[in-house]
Amino acid sequence: MMQQHRKLIKTVEVTDSTYVRVPVIAQSEEPFNTKCKPIILEQPQQSVFVNYVKEKLDKLKYYLQPPHKIYFIKHGGHNNENDKCPLNNQFQQNQNVSNKRTIHLISKDTQNILPLVNPSGNINQLHFQEKLNLKAFQKGVQKHCQTYKHGDTQFDQLKPKLEYERKEQMKRESKPKLKCKCQQCDIVLDQSNENEIVMQLKQFQLQTKVGNEMVSRKTIHYEKDLFKLESLKEEGRIKKFEFQETFPKIKLNQNIGKWEQKMFEKTGQYWTSSMIDGYGNYLSGLDERYYFSLSSAEREQYPRLFIFTSDFLTNCNLESPPLKEKWLLLILEKLELFKTIQYQFWLIYQKIAFIVNKNNSHWYMLTLDLKERFMVIYDSLSGSSQHYHKVRALLSYVFYELQKNQLKNIKEDQYEFKMYFKPKFQSQNDSYSCGYHTCIALEYFSNTHRVKDFKEKKDIKSDLKDIFYYEQL
């Protein structure tokens, strides 16, 4: 190596005649004299980035300026007490008709044996408690009619009438269903401004007030994927793994390509962000669809789901020196839909989850509770505590900035999330299944009101396979 360097060096003999000595006076007064200005080392990319962050951050922070405003939600959905709703009117009509037909169907002789079938002796209670379960009623009447003095004659007379009632019930159910006229969307009102409407929440759509107009923006852009998959499930059809010739495809807001296809065909593969973030988007869509199917009273009690995909914490780059302005800009960009209500998205969504990709080598999930101010970690591999403390410091800072207008006596160094690990969460015994367990945690957290146990790896893999690849009809 030294010989190669010597070949590049040219030996020059320097004598006194080849250079001129600088006078001593010149050295003291002007040590370096040149026509060119001294070179200043700059980082143009870094300075441009910092200027961009500050410029964009100033625009978004405008909506965080005090004073703190108080908003509340008026929940929409079906209202059972709304007399103007056609569904309520139709239900009342059907109930009246059923009452009349029930009394007309049952003869006086049959009424004598009803106390044996229904100890309470209440004819209306028998029918409406059992929801006109005609088969069970037939068996009860047939059994007791055998001991009646008319034998089977009474039941034979009753049977055609029961068959007629069954056909009429089928006709009523086959009629097109009326649409509910109750207010379906949720309305966000500004209490500090005479209950002015500032936002309307619809399924997969959000309308915010800009000036005097309501501007619509989509919250989810994959309704076709979501509804098609759910219709296949409802119809009970078998979904086959389809080899898609054109890749990548945009499914659930993510790029799904041949690499993801190989993940489902083989075992021992590390799942990608397209798969895990796509599944998070899918669960958010299901939660929103379920929420807007509820009545107004049920919506008021239902905690909605908001999932931060992995790009947020990945772009924050926890391994580099902390740049708080960048952290705040990223979360404000993520929540830009809610700037009209001072980014108070927790008024709408109470269940908050983050998908975390640690150093592009490990997946896990964490959740936040803003009221109790704690975070719960779902990690199949217990990592270094230093990483968790960095995540906690980041989230504590950005959520303090979002809430500091309403936190009067709390300073930044006093606002901190308490950190817990989810007890009895599954542990992985391999080097690749952290993505599986992250999706299991997402599914469990999104369905805590319906699911009590964690899924198995094979089941969650089958679910994702059905979500991203299904036979097109």
- Give the pLDDT of residue 170: 61
Give the pLDDT confidence of 313-340 residue by residue, as tens digits.
999 988 887 789 899 999 999 999 999 9
Is residue 431 over pLDDT 70?
yes
- Give the pLDDT of residue 32: 40
- Give the pLDDT of residue 128: 42
Q: What percent of the chain has pLDDT over 70?
A: 66
Give the pLDDT confidence of 247-269 residue by residue, as tens digits.
667 778 788 877 888 888 888 88
Is residue 6 over pLDDT 60?
no
- Give the pLDDT of residue 78: 75
Q: What percent of the chain has pLDDT over 90?
A: 39
- Give the pLDDT of residue 73: 95
Per-residue pLDDT band at 188 (split at 50, 70, 90): very high
Lowest mean pLDDT among 3-12, 137-146, 302-311, 460-469: 3-12
Report, as an integer, the average pLDDT of 439-447: 94
Quote the pTM value: 0.70
Is residue 425 over pLDDT 80?
yes
Lowest mean pLDDT among 91-95, 145-149, 228-232, 468-472: 145-149
Is residue 15 over pLDDT 60?
no
Three-state SS string over the chain comes to CHHHHHHHCCCCCCCHHHCCCCCHHHHHHCCCCCCCCCCCCCCHHHHHHHHHHHHHHHHHHHHHCCCCCCEEEECCCCCCCCCCCHHHHHHHHHHHHHHHHHHHHCCHHHHHHHHHHCCCCCHHHHHHHCCCCHHHHHHHHHHHHCCCCCCCHHHHHHHHHHHHHHHHHHHHHHCCCCCCCCCCCEEEEEHHHCCEEEEEEECCEEEEEECCEEEEEECCCCHHHHHHHHHHHHHCCCCCCCCCCCCCEEECCEEECHHHHHHHHCCCCCCCHHHHHHHHHHHHHHHHHHHCCCCHHHHHHCCCEEEECCHHHHHHCCCCCCCHHHHHHHHHHHCHHHHHHCCCHHHCCCEEEEEEEECCCEEEEEEEECCCCEEEEECCCCCCHHHHHHHHHHHHHHHHHHHCCCCCCCCHHHCCCEEEECCCCCCCCCCCCHHHHHHHHHHHHHCCCCCCCCCCHHHHHHHHHHHHCCCCC
Is residue 443 over pLDDT 90?
yes
Per-residue pLDDT band at 171 (split at 50, 70, 90): low
The more confident residue out of 449 and 278 is 278
- Give the pLDDT of residue 468: 82
Give the pLDDT confidence of 96-136 residue by residue, as tens digits.
766 555 444 444 444 444 444 444 444 444 444 444 445 55
